Amino acid sequence: MKARSFLLAIAASVLLLLTSAAGIWWTMAWQSPLRQAQRPLELPRAAQFVPRQAALSLHWLMDPGRLPAYAEAVAPSKQRRAAREAVQQLRDGAFALAGLEYSDELSDWLGPEVSLALLDSGGDDGRLGWVLALSSRDPDGPRRFLQRFWQTRSLAGTDLQVSSYRGMGVISGRGALLGRDPQPLATALIDNDLLLLASGRGVLEQALDVSQLDDQHQLGDADLQRRLTELGDGVALVTASPQALGSWLGLPAELANHSDLDGLVASLGVQGADLAVDGMLRFRSPVVAAEASSTDAAAAREALLEFAGGSADALALLTNPSALLEMANDDPQAQLLGPLLRGQLQALASPALDAISARNDGPMLWEQQPQGWLVGTEAGRPGFDAVDAALSAEGLAASSLDAERGQLTVWTRLQRKRSHGQESLQAELAVALAREGRQEWWGESLDTVQQRRDDKPLQQRLQQLKALEDQQLPLPQQLALAAPLSREQLQRWRPWTLVQTVAGRSLLDQVQGLAVAVGPDPTDDTALFADQAGGGNTLRLRALLNLG
């Protein structure tokens, strides 16, 4: 019996150790910075203080204290220290914009949820006010912070006003923002674990008023809650009004001023070292043009991708480029992509590329290679006669050319050349056409057409596009850029400039690629069927920024 009792004691001890080890392992796995980056999107409690009509809101759902550890964990071994320091500097700089020092004032109590909202302050100057909501993991943390925060400013000569509004204590005064003169500030503590910091008493009272009415704040927005479910996982949620889409996010004025535009809802996620954005532009009526036979259109695009090749700095897959180029087209897809497409065509100044794009109502694959551009289309879209007529009007003549891998149709223009005092005529190639089955391939040079069969150099661009897909149908308008072109586009984008300002350094060297996809929302039934008049009411946007 003693031996049996001893064995039972040993077994119980082993079981206890195993259970404890499993518990420790589970706790470590759950608290891992990698695990914290994968969580379902949900509105935080602070959304109760954000009006649905806020110009811009950002709900950050990942513990700011763990951001440097995450950056270090996903960075290559030789870059881990630099990645940690860069993210730490970016985080500290973001809080410094509100006059807060993360290490000294926030690090010991700040919780995982941080929200920022830009609101109409009601002033005559049209300036926006802001409200910052900070969650707490320590019930006493916000109270200690407020005591130090206002005590420091009081000693500096700030006149404080302490009052009650809607049963909550409000403290207001003037505080110094980073690099600016003292500005109005106001704070309120909600249930000891949520701190509101605003750019003035009026803005704070506006947030407190909204919190009392379910039909006015974001937390009571059933449509917003539904869209979060469709967006899935993420570490942050962004909403933007039409005004903010133009002035803050840099969308084309035609789209930002669309009469039916309701706003943007987007998730921000991380995939290793990459940054992913999944967004929905919402409209009050079905104005997003539906695809004709979506399944067939997707198959046609896939066929073009399957037979594409060559080394491409940029790869674009477009549906109905002729509609995208129409200046009078009020489809949001055309308003978003049309200015970019017209700008690229103008920069390349190619009559052949203009003629092909403006007359193609089907799928089109466009590669920008070192040797020039390459375009793939379905046979007969655009029609040969229409393209030939347009090129003839530009002084280009069509002829046949026997090439290594079959016969080509080429359009050339005779140019006068002078060499060593002698003049001669030389045919200058504008475009070459190769027909293969149900596809036609148009190239700016013979090399682009001939090297199309080599698909290995294109794999990196194809992988970028593949990473944008989900379980639904792929979005019809897609673009993948290599590092140089990605950096060129980002440095013109205002939000990127703002992020670099906050970080206090250029971040372009870390950019290794950018991919974007746009189209009718696959989860919107009205966007999937061409016989539904008007199309859908949601334009889906996806982007993946590759960071090295």
Kindly tell me if the per-residue pLDDT of 529 is higher than 50.
no
Mean pLDDT score, 358-385: 95
Give the other-Cβ count within 10 Å of 91's Cβ: 21
Spatial distance between the Cα atoms of 220 and 321, rounded to a whole number of angstroms: 40
CA dist 259 → 207, 244, 265, 331, 513 (Å) = 27, 15, 18, 11, 34
In this predicted structure, what is the pLDDT of residue 337? Answer: 95
Please compute Rg for the chain using Cα positions: 29
Residue 156 covered by a domain: yes
Between residues 178 and 199, the one the model is more confident about: 199
The three-state DSSP-derived secondary structure of 490-507 is: HCCCHHHHHHHHHHCCCC
Between residues 170 and 522, the one the model is more confident about: 170
Q: Are residues 250 and 342 in the same domain?
A: no
Residue 412 covered by a domain: yes
pLDDT digits (tens, 9 = 90+) for 144-160: 999 999 988 787 777 88
Kindly tell me if the per-residue pLDDT of 331 is higher than 90.
yes
Q: Are residues 107 and 208 in the same domain?
A: yes
The last residue of one of the domains, among 248, 271, 294, is: 271
The last residue of one of the domains, among 232, 251, 271, is: 271
Q: Are residues 195 and 302 in the same domain?
A: no
Q: Are residues 120 and 250 in the same domain?
A: yes
The domain containing residue 466 runs over which residues? 283-547
Residue 26 covered by a domain: no
pLDDT digits (tens, 9 = 90+) for 112-135: 999 999 998 766 566 899 999 999
Kindly tell me if the per-residue pLDDT of 180 is higher than 80.
no
Q: Are residues 124 and 177 in the same domain?
A: yes
Between residues 516 and 529, the one the model is more confident about: 516
Q: Are residues 292 and 222 in the same domain?
A: no
Q: Are residues 393 and 254 in the same domain?
A: no
The percent of residues above 70 in pLDDT, for the chain, comes to 85
Residue 384 covered by a domain: yes
Q: Are residues 365 and 242 in the same domain?
A: no
Q: Are residues 390 and 310 in the same domain?
A: yes
pLDDT band at 297 (very low <50, low <70, confident <90, very high): confident
Kindly tell me if the per-residue pLDDT of 71 is higher than 60.
yes
Mean pLDDT score, 8-36: 43
Q: Are residues 223 and 117 in the same domain?
A: yes
Residue 29 covered by a domain: no
In this predicted structure, what is the pLDDT of residue 295? Answer: 73
Residue 25 covered by a domain: no
Mean pLDDT score, 397-420: 82
Residue 475 covered by a domain: yes
Residues with Cβ within 8 Å of residue 202, at least 6 apart in sequence = 121, 122, 129
Kindly tell me if the per-residue pLDDT of 530 is higher than 60.
no
Element (H, E) at 487: helix 483-490
The last residue of one of the domains, among 213, 241, 271, is: 271
In this predicted structure, what is the pLDDT of residue 512? Answer: 94
Spatial distance between the Cα atoms of 493 and 225, rounded to a whole number of angstroms: 29
Q: Are residues 320 and 245 in the same domain?
A: no
Q: Are residues 254 and 383 in the same domain?
A: no
How many structural domains is the chain composed of?
A: 2
pLDDT digits (tens, 9 = 90+) for 424-445: 557 789 999 999 889 999 999 9
**Please, what is the average pLDDT of the chain?**
86
Kindly tell me if the per-residue pLDDT of 103 is higher than 50.
yes
Residue 344 covered by a domain: yes
Burial of 434 (0-12, 13-18, 19+ CB in 10 A): buried
In the chain, DSSP finds a helix count (H) and a strand count (E) of 18, 20
